């Protein structure tokens, strides 16, 4: 069901002319005194002439700027591309994220060409990995539902990275990781971009099986009968208003010598009308993306399995379609969640936390070292942090590690508090808790609700937990930028993979 565009990644360390390509890309930085031509494989004479021409060519070095020039004989390519890397400090190399974005932007904008040589400054294996990852993320397209692709440009199929560290022993592993992680991000994007006419609970569960084929993972699916029988009242309460009944999908990667264990819980609302508390029509089409959290946790576990990391990782995909049908939950209904806690539903458009609560309880019963839930949970996240920065809340030990991992991965997250005064606003007159509370700071209030369902470890302490709200950064309604395309972004997959790597390194 999920068709991914893929790019071939390779490296070259010497004569670019011997490596045929359609275009050679070199970087230009935005210095304090104007554009700066970055280290490149051109001859000294060519590089000097080019550097002197930058201003007259209108080249600034700003991020996302690319300028095509006729190719030079010494590169063996018909096109020379100058790609902006953004601001650079005097004498300092570009950061890994600057390289990642510049490579992704160049490859994205050079769609239509088959092979592109990327000659950014890459002094380390990490630099090469950043360029490779950016290129793989930039080479994405979603055309599955077009009757014809006439007039559309095919993504770049081959990226050759010029580097002085091409012979380094760790390079192949770094390229493999870049390719696997980018594949996971792109698969997440494709699931998010798939229309709700085609992606609904049953087909999402099938997609999880399809994507898992060939990997050492076990997939278990709860249908509506099993969900009802076992008491998953949150998922059933949200999903019963739709003719397309809900699903819970467990994707488990459990290598024999796992050093740590982690549970990832994802919100999978394949379409969100708001239910009886129906949303305004304007912008409702974007609600096909309300399953992004489930797509993220699914593909994170598959990436960890592909990388063969020694961690037990389990994804819980809490999947439902929130529709205002005759069986839909009403405001004032009380649902009994998995585990027995009761919730008064005051607003059926606060449905994500209901399905997530069931998943968090189920995850807790396996006593993982940490639980991380990922959800497009609140509009309040956009108000607080905008369209590109996710909010993270929960146990300090997990949120601080997630922030460090996100910084390393090049994704934007920001820790937010969970003030104790928010909890009383969730008190219910008839049930254990209500599904909405204090409107101001609603992102944090939603996280306080979820915290109520995090279980205890075998010693009786609450399992370390974090909640990531990706309502804004999961879906790009603006113009493409860097390696980010329009619509589904696949955000947070790279952060979670980096988090697990850091967890294992610390262990």
How many Å is the maximal CA-CA distance in the chain? 80
CA 311 – CA 263 distance, rounded (Å) = 11
Per-residue pLDDT, 13: 87
Q: Summarize pLDDT for 39-57 with one digit per residue, the tens.
A: 999 999 999 999 999 999 9
| Known binding-site positions for Mn(2+) | 267, 272, 290, 349, 351
For 111, residues 6+ apart whose C-beta sits below 8 A from its C-beta are 139, 141, 153, 154, 155, 156
Does position 366 have pLDDT exceeding 90, yes or no?
A: yes
> What is the mean predicted confidence (pLDDT) over 370-381?
98
Does position 361 have pLDDT exceeding 80, yes or no?
A: yes
Distances in Å between the alpha carbon of 361 and those of 193, 296, 339, 463?
29, 19, 7, 11
pLDDT band of 292, cuts 50, 70, 90: very high
Domains and CATH numbers, the chain: 8-181 (3.40.220.10), 199-506 (3.40.630.10)
Does position 484 have pLDDT exceeding 80, yes or no?
A: yes
Per-residue pLDDT, 1: 65
Per-residue pLDDT, 15: 81
pLDDT band of 169, cuts 50, 70, 90: confident
Looking at residue 13, the DSSP 8-state letter turns out to be: -
> What is the mean predicted confidence (pLDDT) over 93-115?
97
Does position 113 have pLDDT exceeding 70, yes or no?
A: yes
Residue 330 has a CB neighbour count (10 Å cut-off) of 12
> What is the mean predicted confidence (pLDDT) over 466-474?
98
Q: Which of 166-180, 309-323, 368-382 has the lowest mean pLDDT?
A: 166-180
Q: Summarize pLDDT for 194-249 with one digit per residue, the tens.
A: 999 999 999 999 999 999 999 999 999 999 999 999 999 999 999 999 999 999 99
Per-residue pLDDT, 3: 74
Per-residue pLDDT, 167: 81
pLDDT band of 65, cuts 50, 70, 90: very high
- Output phi, psi for 171, to 5 deg: -70, -40
Q: Which parts of 323-464 are beta strand (E)? A: 334-336, 342-344, 370-375, 390-394, 413-415, 433-434
Looking at residue 147, the DSSP 8-state letter turns out to be: S
Does position 467 have pLDDT exceeding 90, yes or no?
A: yes
> What is the mean predicted confidence (pLDDT) over 8-15?
90
Does position 92 have pLDDT exceeding 70, yes or no?
A: yes
For 44, residues 6+ apart whose C-beta sits below 8 A from its C-beta are none
Does position 343 have pLDDT exceeding 90, yes or no?
A: yes
Buried residues in 65-92 as b, exposed as e (16+ CB within 10 A): bbeeeebbeebbbebbbbbbbbebeeee
Residue 17 has a CB neighbour count (10 Å cut-off) of 15
CA 95 – CA 100 distance, rounded (Å) = 9
Average pLDDT, the chain: 96
Tokens 């630099």: give the residue: 127
> What is the mean predicted confidence (pLDDT) over 303-326?
98
> What is the mean predicted confidence (pLDDT) over 392-408?
98
Per-residue pLDDT, 260: 97
pTM: 0.97
pLDDT band of 331, cuts 50, 70, 90: very high
Per-residue pLDDT, 475: 98
pLDDT band of 18, cuts 50, 70, 90: confident
Cα Rg for the chain, rounded, in angstroms? 24
Q: Summarize pLDDT for 246-285 with one digit per residue, the tens.
A: 999 999 999 999 999 999 999 999 999 999 999 999 999 9
Per-residue pLDDT, 168: 83
Per-residue pLDDT, 166: 80
Tokens of residue 415, six digits = 């820790």
Residues with a catalytic annotation lie at 279, 353
Does position 4 have pLDDT exceeding 80, yes or no?
A: no
SS (H, E, C) 164-178: CCCCCCCHHHHHHHH
| Known binding-site positions | 267, 272, 290, 349, 351
Per-residue pLDDT, 190: 98
pLDDT band of 6, cuts 50, 70, 90: confident
Query: What percent of the chain has a predicted confidence (pLDDT) above 90?
Result: 93
């Amino acid at each position: 069901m999920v068709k991914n565009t893929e790019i071939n990644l390779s490296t070259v360390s010497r004569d670019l002319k011997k490596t045929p390509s359609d275009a050679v890309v070199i970087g230009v930085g935005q210095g304090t005194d104007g554009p700066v031509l970055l280290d490149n494989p051109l001859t000294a004479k060519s590089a000097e002439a080019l550097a002197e021409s930058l201003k007259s060519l209108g080249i600034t070095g700003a991020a996302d700027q690319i300028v095509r020039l006729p190719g030079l004989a010494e590169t063996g390519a018909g096109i020379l591309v100058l790609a902006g890397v953004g601001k650079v400090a005097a004498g300092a190399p570009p950061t890994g994220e600057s390289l990642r974005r510049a490579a992704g932007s160049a490859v994205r904008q050079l769609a239509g060409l088959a092979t592109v040589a990327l000659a950014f400054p890459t002094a380390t294996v990490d630099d090469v990995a950043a360029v490779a990852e950016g290129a793989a993320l930039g080479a994405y397209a979603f055309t599955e539902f077009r009757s014809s692709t006439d007039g559309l440009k095919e993504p770049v199929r081959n990226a050759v990275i010029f580097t002085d560290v091409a012979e380094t022993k760790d390079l192949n592993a770094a390229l493999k990781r870049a390719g696997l992680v980018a594949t996971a991000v792109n698969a997440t994007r494709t699931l998010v971009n798939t229309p709700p006419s085609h992606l609904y609970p049953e087909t999402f569960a099938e997609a999880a099986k399809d994507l898992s084929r060939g990997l050492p993972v076990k997939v278990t699916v709860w249908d509506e009968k099993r969900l009802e029988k076992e008491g998953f009242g949150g998922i059933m309460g949200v999903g019963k208003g739709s003719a397309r009944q809900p699903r819970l999908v467990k994707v488990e990667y459990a290598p024999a010598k796992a050093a740590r264990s982690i549970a990832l819980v994802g919100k999978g609302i394949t379409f969100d009308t708001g239910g009886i508390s129906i949303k305004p029509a304007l912008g409702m089409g974007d609600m096909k993306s309300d399953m992004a959290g489930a797509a993220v946790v699914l593909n994170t576990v598959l990436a960890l399995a592909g990388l063969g990391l020694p961690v037990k990782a389990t994804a819980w995909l809490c999947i439902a379609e929130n529709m205002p049908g005759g069986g839909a939950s009403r405001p004032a209904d009380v649902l009994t969640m998995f585990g027995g806690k009761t919730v008064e539903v005051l607003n059926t458009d606060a449905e994500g936390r209901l399905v997530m609560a069931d998943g968090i309880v189920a995850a807790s019963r396996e006593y993982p070292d940490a639980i991380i839930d990922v959800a497009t949970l609140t509009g309040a996240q956009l108000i607080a942090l905008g369209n590109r920065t996710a909010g993270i809340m929960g146990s300090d030990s997990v949120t601080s590690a997630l922030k460090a991992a996100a910084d390393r991965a090049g994704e934007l997250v920001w820790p937010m508090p969970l003030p104790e005064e928010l909890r009383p606003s969730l008190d219910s007159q008839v049930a254990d808790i209500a599904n909405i509370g204090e409107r101001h700071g609603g992102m944090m209030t939603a996280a306080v609700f979820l915290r109520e369902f995090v279980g205890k470890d075998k010693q009786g302490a609450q399992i370390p937990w974090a909640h990531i709200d990706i309502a804004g950064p999961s879906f790009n309604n603006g113009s493409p930028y860097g390696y980010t395309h329009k619509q589904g972004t696949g955000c947070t997959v790279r952060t979670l993979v980096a988090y697990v790597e850091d967890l294992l390194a610390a262990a």
